[in-house]
Chains A and B, each alone.
Chain A
Amino acid sequence: MIEVEHLTRTYGGYTAVDDVTFTAHSGRVTGFLGPNGAGKSTTMRVLVGLTPPTSGTALVDGRRFVDLPNPGREVGVLLDASAQHAGRTGREILTLAQRTLGLPRGSVEEMLDRVSLTEDEAGRRVRNYSLGMRQRLGIAVALIGEPRVLVLDEPANGLDPAGIRWMRDLLRGYADQGGTVLLSSHLLHEIEVVADDLVVIGQGRIVVSGTKEELLAGAGTLVRARDVAALAAALTAAGIGTTPTDGGVLADAEAGRVGETCLAAGVPLTELRAADGAGLEEMFLALTADTQREGAAA
């Protein structure tokens, strides 16, 4: 379990993390979501003791990270897959981890196998690695200590679709075994698919947090029709709030009621479903609209 309480980090007059409080529970994947520069990475660095907080606390299983006797055995950390010595081989980097953490020798080969780095790739120097290979190596470094908590900053970056699926399954399995996973991303879809809980951050502040179901419950129904105007009119007439979206509307009611309304109004639909996929994106953009660089992206 990760408990972050009233965490603040300022740089001179600039507040990168502003009174952030959230909890990542064990057995669950917590998605840490926010636009670039929102304070995700700073929060994670404070959590693992790389950046001293200005005020507030961050605890892992009730203890400060720096007070853990052998942190690598309890928390697997991947903050930046490129932060490795370019002149070391992948196998050497894992060997350093194995030795530092005091693990059995065989764990290096075991991890290489687990993250699907081949014998040949493991013997190459990291400067010749693709970003995807670096991510796999970084995951291996994070997992090698068999930790109960994972802290991963944008781990899906650079992975191909098969790699993203692999990562998702790995994190899901990890949480299902009782582990705690804190995962940051700006890839909304990726987070939505794997996360149980969501923490959305913008300009250093928590914008909203809760379980995915809670947050998506208010997202409504995505409904599309050839005649969008008629669709919107029918829903409005029935007292259902609508938000225009490309080729349809987001209706402020559950799918059954929307379907009945449209049938009664004689509007043929082309799509009708709970607005989970679009919902989170809409929510994300809406919640961070005033904090985003691009302004309100409608």
Chain B
Amino acid sequence: MTTMTTTPETPRTSGTATAGTARPARSEHAPIPFSRLLGVELRKMFDTRAGVWLMASVGGLAVIASAAVVLWAPDDALTYETFGAAVGMPMAVVLPVIAILSVTSEWSQRTGLTTFTWVPRRGRVIAAKTVNAVLVAVVGMLIAFAIGAVGNVVGSALAGVDTVWNMTLGDFFAIQLANLLGVLIGFMLGVVLRSSPAAMVGYLVVVYVLTGLTMTLAAFQEWFADLQPWVDFNYIQGALFEGPYESAEGWAQLGVTTVIWLVLPLAFGLWRTLRAEVK
């Protein structure tokens, strides 16, 4: 009944053909270089249908936003500033979602089971994901700005008005920075919450619900209105969309709120992720 009629096929592991002996000669494998992790993690952001759609939506939404400006904006508003603001809006949602999913799918889709056995030093995986989130945020905004520029040229031509390039390099970098910080907030929530729906809801709460609450609070409580720039990340980060701060105090406030809202929670999330059980 239990006669064993195995016909051992020859596995490819010919290098370990020392059957029966105590231990095959150890061939030391080179550690996995960080550049390889970067490449693999970047690929993982776009090798699913969801990833492809999210990436496509960066371009698609920028085109739709530009078209909306061309169609509905009054002629005197057909400036690059308007287009820049219009394309920036959808980016503030899509790019953080890409960043969130790059972390949370390891837990929600349970791919962490393989990812973290290939690379048990989880900090390296998270570091690669962080670099890629920054890369995608910057490149995504560049694509959106480029599409906005095309919209500006086409829109002003259609309306028969002069093409207005009223965005300075300083404005450009300020918007890039503001957007990048928003993406990193999403990434942080992904690391802290380790669940796709929770992190996405969390991002909407932080960026939209919280903004409304603090605005209301500041309107009715004077003490908070004074304190707000030092504690309300959304408030001070949002100001960047209008251009770089004019005073050093603005940058100091951005630094303080970024530490409170981004650096500290990210450190906490990282600390937990490195110790968490992967199931």
Contact = CB atoms under 8 A, between A and B. Distances in A.
B170 interface: no
Interface string A96-140: 110111100000001000100000000001000000000000000
B117 A71 contact: yes
Contact of B47 (A71, A92, A141): A92
Contacts of A114: 12
B186 to A, nearest CB: 19
A193 B4 CA distance: 7
B6 A96 contact: no
Interface residues of A, number: 60
Contacts of B7: 169
A1 interface: yes
Contacts of B44: 96
Nearest to B105: A85
Interface stretch (B28-36, B197-205, B210-218): B28-36
A27 B29 CA distance: 21
Nearest to A93: B114
B29 A74 contact: yes
Contact of A69 (B9, B16, B31): B31
Contacts of A49: 116-117, 120
A177 B109 contact: no
Interface string B1-23: 11010111111111111111111
A215 B2 CA distance: 16
B6 A83 contact: no
B8 A173 contact: yes
Given A65-B120, A80-B113, A277-B2, A177 B11 contact: yes
Nearest to A49: B120
Contact of A87 (B12, B24, B36, B48): B48
Interface string A157-190: 0000000000011101110111100000000010
A7 B11 CA distance: 32
A179 B11 CA distance: 10
A193 B1 CA distance: 10
Contacts of A178: 16-21, 24
A111 to B, nearest CB: 9
Contacts of A189: 2
B32 A84 contact: no
B157 interface: no
B118 A71 contact: yes
Top 9 nearest A-B pairs by Cβ distance? A173-B8, A87-B48, A83-B110, A69-B31, A66-B120, A83-B113, A50-B278, A49-B120, A70-B29
Interface of B: 1-2, 4, 6-24, 26, 28-32, 36-37, 39-40, 43-44, 47-51, 105, 109-111, 113-114, 116-121, 275, 277-279
Interface of A: 1, 26-27, 45, 48-52, 61, 65-66, 68-75, 77, 79-80, 82-88, 92, 96-97, 99-102, 110, 114, 125, 141, 143, 146-148, 168-170, 172-174, 176-179, 189, 192-193, 276-277
23 contacts: A1-B22, A27-B20, A45-B278, A50-B117, A68-B120, A69-B29, A69-B32, A77-B117, A84-B110, A84-B114, A85-B48, A87-B50, A88-B48, A96-B43, A96-B44, A96-B47, A141-B114, A146-B15, A169-B6, A170-B11, A179-B11, A179-B16, A193-B2
